[in-house]
A and B are shown apart, each in its own frame.
Chain A
Amino acid sequence: MTVGSNVKGSYFTVKSAEAGLEQLAIKTSSEEAKKAFYDAQYLLSNVREDLKKQVQFLAREEAQYK
């Protein structure tokens, strides 16, 4: 596995975790939990954006593995 594919994997994991958090935020009826889930989801969306850029950057770096 190349670094590029590893990071790509992490990117999708973060994406799925973000969706999971949103699901929990919608389902829960406690306001406090809802807020915590949404805050965490926001943090994860930042992580996802960064990783996306990194995935693109690595794809250019590791062009030979395409």
Chain B
Amino acid sequence: MPDWLNIFLRSVALFFLLFFLIKLLGKKHLSQLSLFDYINGVVLGGIVAIVVAHQDVNFWHGVIALSVWFIFPFTIDYIALKSKKVRNFVHGKSTVIIQDGKIMEDNLKKESVSTDDLLEQLREKNIFRVADVEFALLEPTGKINVLPKTENQPLTAKALNIKLAPEKEPQTVIMDGKMQLEPLANLNLNPAWLETELAKLNVTIENVFLAQADNDGQLTVDLYDDKLSIPSPTEKPLLLATLKKTQADLELYALETENEHSKQLYKTNAKRLGEAIHLVEPYLK
């Protein structure tokens, strides 16, 4: 066998082998890798490089080395997945750096994190005053995660006691002018519905670059022709406005009439409408 063919065949075989081994090792992002994971990857690559370039190395010896460096980390990862103790040993534990707003100097020293490192990492989280921190952890990857004190946390709907409608993920129903059947089916909608909605907007499907529908069946589209303006869905805001207007009208009638019975009737119904508005308002926004 000529040398070039030998190298070619080794390269192709090891390319696929390495590809599948790395796939099997999991989906971790490079920044999540522990130091050992990283070294393991380099060793795998190194073995492949040596076997490909040095023809005096037996190909099968290379495969043995590869499988050892694959099977060991794979098994250790698997055991770590099952046992917390092994996991703590292999992947390390997180260390408390700040607790109850107080810096744990001993832990800092133990993990060899300097005060500057700590301040820098806090600044990265947009925290410039250590006094704003309630709790901070040093993760095994070396990152610091911070829980700010309650008054320094971003305001959420929960803190403001606002009721919000749960939002589900929208489905992309048209891509590059082509109808996507699976996302449509996920929303229990059919192609006929999509055609009707597009007809309402007065556009053809060929002109649609992207269209998304949310779980209330509201369609938003982006066209190839950016000069055409497309109305955004108005069904829900319109309904809310109608309800509010009617409620106001009924209150007005109640003020205008002098008939006691009618007054009462308008009032109770205005109240009912108010309840209805309160019920559906989060979903109509």
Interface residues on chain A, size class: 20 to 34
- Determine the residue in chain A with the shortest Cβ distance to B269: A47
- In the complex, are the beta carbons of A21 and B239 less than 8 A apart? yes
- List, in ascending order, chain B residues with CB within 8 A of A16's CB: 242
How many residues belonging to B are interface residues under a CB distance threshold of 8 Å? 34
- In the complex, are the beta carbons of A3 and B215 less than 8 A apart? no
User: Complex formed: what's the CA distance from A39 to B279 in Å?
Assistant: 8
**Number of residue pairs across A and B with beta carbons under 8 Å?**
89
- In the complex, are the beta carbons of B166 and A14 less than 8 A apart? no
Using an 8 Å CB-CB cutoff, how does the interface string of B132-168 with A read, 1 for contact, 0 for none? 0000000000000000000000000000000001101
Q: Which of A7, A17, A29, A46 is close to B243, meaning CB atoms less than 8 Å apart? A: A17
Main secondary structure of the interface of A (DSSP, over half): helix
User: Complex formed: what's the CA distance from A40 to B165 in Å?
Assistant: 15
- In the complex, are the beta carbons of A14 and B257 less than 8 A apart? no
User: Complex formed: what's the CA distance from A9 to B242 in Å?
Assistant: 12
B91 at the interface (CB under 8 A from A): no
User: Complex formed: what's the CA distance from A29 to B167 in Å?
Assistant: 11
Q: Which of B215, B235, B269 is close to A51, meaning CB atoms less than 8 Å apart? A: B269
- In the complex, are the beta carbons of A50 and B269 less than 8 A apart? yes
Q: Which of B239, B257, B265 is close to A17, meaning CB atoms less than 8 Å apart? A: B239
- Determine the residue in chain B with the shortest Cβ distance to A9: B249
- Determine the residue in chain A with the shortest Cβ distance to B187: A29
A56 at the interface (CB under 8 A from B): no
- List, in ascending order, chain A residues with CB within 8 A of B277's CB: 40
Q: Which of A24, A32, A43, A57 is close to B166, meaning CB atoms less than 8 Å apart? A: A32
- In the complex, are the beta carbons of B236 and A24 less than 8 A apart? yes
The 25 listed contacts between A and B (C-beta, < 8 Å) are: A7-B253, A10-B249, A17-B246, A20-B235, A20-B239, A24-B216, A24-B235, A24-B283, A28-B216, A28-B283, A30-B165, A30-B215, A32-B165, A33-B215, A33-B216, A36-B283, A37-B280, A43-B275, A43-B276, A47-B272, A50-B265, A50-B268, A50-B269, A51-B269, A54-B266
Q: Which 8 residue pairs of A and B lie closest in terms of their CB atoms, listed nearest first?
A: A27-B217, A40-B276, A43-B276, A29-B215, A47-B269, A40-B280, A40-B279, A28-B216
Q: Which residues of A contact B (CB under 8 A)?
A: 3, 6-7, 10, 13-14, 16-17, 20-21, 24, 27-30, 32-33, 36-37, 39-40, 43-44, 46-47, 50-51, 53-54, 57
Beyond A43-B273, A43-B279: 11 further Cβ-contacts under 8 Å? A6-B253, A7-B253, A17-B242, A24-B235, A24-B239, A28-B217, A36-B280, A37-B280, A47-B273, A51-B269, A54-B265
